[in-house]
């Protein structure tokens, strides 16, 4: 299920077949469409569409193209309109230095006053930039700095990331710019340009992952390949989703789910999805048997929202063996069944062993993803107990340096690093497939890690993307 986070359905391009376009969107799995206004008239049209169709949501605001026409009275009316129950954001607003249809000082003024409007109304903003990203970022950064509580009243989450305040639509910046916007509480949104040949947007996306993005068609513009140049429509969002899935070797479903989660969160659309004890990524089924962990890694969102690619893993109660087995169904339908949630599975060793034994008895393949502290946690060498139950093991190395390891995980670095290495060595003795992983962050020397793992343990190192 997709959310098209940016489509100008009020456009005249749809005057003859709007209902058909919307029907095609629904048939293609578009669950909701967010329609941003560009001036007072189109903002009203967006609201009218949202009143007519229960899957459409509206944004109201003045596009930079129309900034010179935005009188104080117009802006007051926009603010009044923003109180409508179907309005989910102020937008689209921003700066366009490519066309310069409005003088730049007016663009800046209208952009700033609409940001203040969004802050007063506690709504997110939808930002348009063209050849103006640095200036727009500067203005947004100043607004956030002067209003740290913006959006936080609406969201009862304590994520590792700040509460979302808006989206840079049709994002065309660098990976560095994308990360700094995420750190500020903004999403970036990608339209059909990611399907274009040699697209810089696709290159940025490759570096930042798709965990923190929104998807949009920007209809009627920006039609994705192979429809480039034609009138665009929300149903084409699938071509964008498929392209991104292809870039990452994931499924279209994975990409759609992650982006849908972010759009729901940003625009406060619908209730959050319930927590899951099993979740599917690619064609593997992951088991979320605990959210407890003996460590507290600073890069881990276990105590925050605990979301993995749009799957909510924030379980409030640990499932029983029977509940997990029931949720798995037929394990042979999957490439593998993986013990991996936002918690350390060996904390529940009995459940792990019972479920794994059942999966093996049904002909499934089992992998254990672990921090490698299971033997310390259970006060005995647990590796021999897993023989026959587990086919492969993945141990988080995190760092070759015990001091850094301890700091990253908020544990006794010397003691647990040694325990983790011993655990990996033990696994190497018993299991044909053992890998160790590090998270690809700047502060981690992945080459040193690779050399260490190959030389000291004799297994392969995998770098997990830090998204």
Shortest CA distance to 420 belongs to which of 433, 401, 440, 446?
Answer: 401
Residue numbers 270-289 binding ligand SF4 by CB under 6 A: none
Radius of gyration of the CA atoms of the chain, in A: 24
C-alpha triplet 105, 111, 113: angle, nearest 5°? 105
Enter the DSSP assignment of 220: T
Residue 247, contacted partner among ligand SF4, Zn ion, none, CB below 5-8 A by kind = none
Shortest CA distance to 401 belongs to which of 409, 390, 412, 413?
Answer: 413
Written as six digits, the tokens of 227 are 């429809």
Enter the DSSP assignment of 7: B
Enter the DSSP assignment of 194: G
When the beta carbons of 224 and 345 are compared against ligand SF4, the nearer one is 345
Dist CA 195 CA 355 (whole Å): 42
- Note whether 295 binds ligand SF4 by CB under 6 A: yes
Kindly determine how many residues on this chain lie close enough to bind ligand SF4 according to the rule CB under 6 A. Answer: 11
Whether residue 94 contacts residue 63, with contact meaning beta carbons closer than 8 Å, is answered with: yes
When the beta carbons of 132 and 398 are compared against Zn ion, the nearer one is 132
- Note whether 143 binds ligand SF4 by CB under 6 A: no
When the beta carbons of 8 and 302 are compared against ligand SF4, the nearer one is 302
Dist CA 218 CA 21 (whole Å): 14
State the greatest distance between any 2 C-alpha atoms of the chain, in Å, as a whole number: 75
- Note whether 293 binds ligand SF4 by CB under 6 A: yes
When the beta carbons of 233 and 371 are compared against ligand SF4, the nearer one is 371
When the beta carbons of 187 and 416 are compared against ligand SF4, the nearer one is 416
- Note whether 57 binds ligand SF4 by CB under 6 A: no
| Distance, CA of 23 to chain centre | 27
Q: Which stretch binds Zn ion (CB under 5 A): 13-21, 73-81, 92-100, 130-138?
A: 92-100
When the beta carbons of 75 and 308 are compared against ligand SF4, the nearer one is 308
Q: Dihedrals φ, ψ of 332, to 5°?
A: -75, -10
When the beta carbons of 66 and 371 are compared against ligand SF4, the nearer one is 371
Written as six digits, the tokens of 34 are 């967010």
User: Residue 345 CB, nearest distance to ligand SF4 (Å)?
Assistant: 9
Written as six digits, the tokens of 389 are 């139950």
Q: Which stretch binds Zn ion (CB under 5 A): 91-99, 152-160, 330-338, 396-404?
A: 91-99
User: Residue 81 CB, nearest distance to ligand SF4 (Å)?
Assistant: 44
* Interaction mask 402-421, ligand SF4, x per CB under 6 A: -------x------------
Residue numbers 315-344 binding ligand SF4 by CB under 6 A: 342-344
Residue 343, contacted partner among ligand SF4, Zn ion, none, CB below 5-8 A by kind = ligand SF4
User: Residue 300 CB, nearest distance to ligand SF4 (Å)?
Assistant: 3
Whether residue 241 contacts residue 293, with contact meaning beta carbons closer than 8 Å, is answered with: no
With a CB cutoff of 8 Å and minimum separation 6, the contacts of 455 are: none
User: Residue 183 CB, nearest distance to Zn ion (Å)?
Assistant: 25
* Interaction mask 360-379, ligand SF4, x per CB under 6 A: -----------x--------
Q: 26 by DSSP, 3-state: which?
A: helix
Strand 278-281 relative to strand 433-440, pairing: unpaired
Interacting residues toward ligand SF4 by CB under 6 A:
293, 295-297, 300, 302, 342-344, 371, 409
Interacting residues toward Zn ion by CB under 5 A:
92
């Amino acid at each position: 299920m997709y959310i098209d986070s940016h489509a100008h359905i009020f456009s005249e391009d749809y005057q003859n077949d709007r209902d058909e376009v919307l029907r095609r969107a629904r048939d293609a799995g578009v669950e909701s469409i967010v329609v941003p206004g560009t001036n007072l008239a189109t903002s009203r049209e967006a609201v009218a569409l949202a009143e007519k169709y229960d899957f459409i949501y509206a944004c109201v605001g003045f596009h930079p193209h129309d900034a010179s026409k935005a009188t104080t009275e117009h802006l007051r009316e926009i603010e009044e309109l923003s109180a409508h129950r179907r309005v989910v954001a102020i937008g689209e607003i921003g700066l366009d230095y490519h066309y310069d249809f409005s003088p730049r000082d007016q663009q800046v003024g209208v952009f700033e006053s609409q940001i203040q409007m969004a802050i007063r109304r506690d709504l997110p903003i939808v930002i348009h930039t063209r050849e103006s990203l640095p200036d727009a970022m500067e203005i947004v950064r100043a607004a956030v700095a002067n209003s740290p509580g913006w959006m936080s009243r609406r969201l009862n989450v304590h994520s590792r990331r700040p509460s979302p305040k808006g989206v840079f639509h049709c994002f065309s910046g660098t990976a560095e710019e994308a990360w700094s916007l995420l750190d500020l509480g903004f999403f970036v949104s990608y339209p059909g340009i990611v399907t274009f040949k040699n697209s810089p947007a696709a290159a940025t996306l490759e570096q930042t992952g798709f965990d923190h993005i929104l998807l949009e068609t920007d209809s009627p513009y920006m039609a994705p390949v192979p429809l480039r140049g034609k009138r665009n429509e929300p149903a084409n969002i699938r071509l964008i989703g498929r392209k991104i899935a292809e870039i990452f070797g994931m499924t279209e479903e994975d990409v759609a789910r992650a982006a849908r989660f972010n759009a729901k969160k940003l625009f406060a659309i619908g209730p959050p999805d319930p927590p899951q004890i099993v979740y599917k990524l690619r064609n593997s089924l992951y088991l979320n048997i605990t959210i407890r962990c003996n460590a507290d890694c600073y890069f881990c969102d276990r105590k925050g929202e605990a979301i993995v690619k749009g799957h909510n893993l924030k379980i409030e109660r640990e499932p029983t063996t029977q509940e997990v087995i029931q949720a798995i169904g037929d394990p042979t339908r999957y490439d593998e069944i993986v013990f991996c949630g936002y918690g350390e599975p060996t904390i529940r060793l009995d459940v792990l062993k019972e479920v794994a034994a059942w999966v093996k008895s049904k002909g499934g393949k089992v992998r254990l993803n672990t921090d490698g502290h299971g033997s310390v946690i259970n006060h005995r060498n647990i590796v021999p107990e897993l023989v026959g139950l587990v086919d492969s093991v993945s141990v988080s190395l995190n760092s070759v340096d015990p001091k850094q390891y301890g700091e990253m995980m908020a544990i006794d670095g010397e003691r647990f690093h040694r325990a983790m290495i011993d655990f990996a060595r033990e696994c190497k003795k018993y299991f044909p497939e053992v890998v160790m992983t590090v998270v690809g962050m700047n502060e981690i020397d992945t080459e040193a890690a690779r050399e260490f793992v190959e030389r000291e343990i004799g297994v392969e190192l995998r770098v997990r993307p830090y998204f």
